[in-house]
């Protein structure tokens, strides 16, 4: 269906006047998406979101169809991922990667449990060392809640994870100005590629 979103909605509304056609078409769409789930193109959650959009369209336009009948053919959404905790050997292998950022990312994610999107908001000032006497025993990491606006949450890092971050920031100080406002992660800048490889050899 071509056209702008309002034009498509208007045409869909006209088609929905034939309830039997609209309902059978909805079932057809779901069956196509189920095939995509089976071929691992999309997840069950994606299909669920498609259905939510159709339901909202029907609700806002007073279109009544038999959702109980339609939902019988919908693949239940999985609420648990297939992810697993990495093994110690896998973590050690990642930590040996030539790109020094990989070890930092791995340690920070494993110990703090942050989401990938959190890196977009992490600045050096958000990592606060916790001391017992003169010894750093942990670090508090303050993160932006990417799902709830203007909210933050915090987690903790081991001394090993904190010192890996500190070593990275100290390394960057040799080549750029680092302040508390500096981002924890950045891309590799060209002039340092050769230096980093030499340093690791």
**Confidence class for position 76, pLDDT limits 50, 70, 90:** low
Q: 29-51 pLDDT, tens per residue?
A: 888 888 888 888 887 888 888 88
Token pair of 155 as six digits: 């987690």
Given phi > 0 = left and psi -120 to 50 = alpha, else beta, which region is 40?
Answer: left
What single-letter DSSP state applies at residue 158?
-
Sheet holding 152-157, edge to edge: 127-132, 135-144, 152-157
pLDDT value, residue 167? 93
Name, in order, each residue with C-beta under 8 angstroms of 126's C-beta and a sequence gap of 6 or more. Answer: 141, 142, 143, 184
**What is the distance between the alpha carbons of residues 89 and 86, in angstroms, rounded to a whole number?**
8
| Neighbouring C-beta atoms of residue 122, cutoff 10 Å | 20
């Amino acid at each position: 269906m071509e056209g702008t979103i309002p034009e498509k909605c208007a045409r869909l509304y006209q088609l929905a006047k034939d309830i039997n056609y609209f309902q059978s078409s909805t079932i057809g769409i779901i069956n196509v998406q189920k095939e995509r789930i089976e071929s691992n193109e999309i997840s069950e959650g994606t299909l669920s979101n498609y259905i939510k959009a159709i339901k909202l369209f029907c609700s806002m336009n007073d279109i009544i169809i038999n959702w109980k009948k339609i939902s019988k053919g919908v693949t239940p959404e999985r609420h648990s991922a297939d992810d697993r905790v990495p093994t110690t050997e896998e973590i050690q292998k990642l930590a040996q990667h030539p790109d020094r950022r990989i070890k930092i990312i791995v340690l920070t994610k494993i110990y703090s449990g942050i989401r990938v999107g959190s890196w977009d908001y992490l600045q050096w000032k958000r990592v606060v060392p916790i001391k017992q006497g003169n010894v750093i025993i942990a670090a508090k990491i303050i993160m932006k809640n990417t799902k709830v606006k203007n909210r933050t949450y915090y987690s903790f890092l081991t001394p090993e994870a904190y010192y890996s971050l500190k070593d990275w920031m100290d390394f960057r100080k040799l080549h750029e100005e680092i302040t508390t406002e500096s981002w924890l992660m950045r891309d590799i800048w060209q002039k340092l590629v050769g230096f980093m490889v030499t340093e690791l050899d």
